Amino acid sequence: VLVTNGGLSLPSPLYNLKHLTLDLRQVDKEIPGLVCLLRNSPNLEKLSVDCHPYY
């Protein structure tokens, strides 16, 4: 993951990524990475996200 212009980006799109399952523990810290993955996954068909509260 690269940091450019204050945002995260990947060196190339993830064209083969069709299904993504995430288990988020620190949601507030993981949102930028999630947004980066979604922006770079043009063929994503299924997204499953489990969010857990951080204590």
Residue ranges of the domains in the chain?
A: 2-51
Q: How far apart are CA 28 and CA 35, in angstroms?
A: 12
Q: What is the pLDDT of residue 45?
A: 97
Tens of pLDDT along 5-37? 556 777 788 999 999 999 888 888 888 888 888
| Helix ranges, 4-47 (H) | 27-39
Q: What is the pLDDT of residue 6?
A: 56
- Tokens 């993951």, residue located: 1
The mean per-residue pLDDT over the stretch 35-45 comes to 92
Residue type, 52: H
- CB neighbour list of residue 54: distance below 8 Å, 6 or more residues apart: 25, 26, 27, 28
Q: What is the pLDDT of residue 54?
A: 66
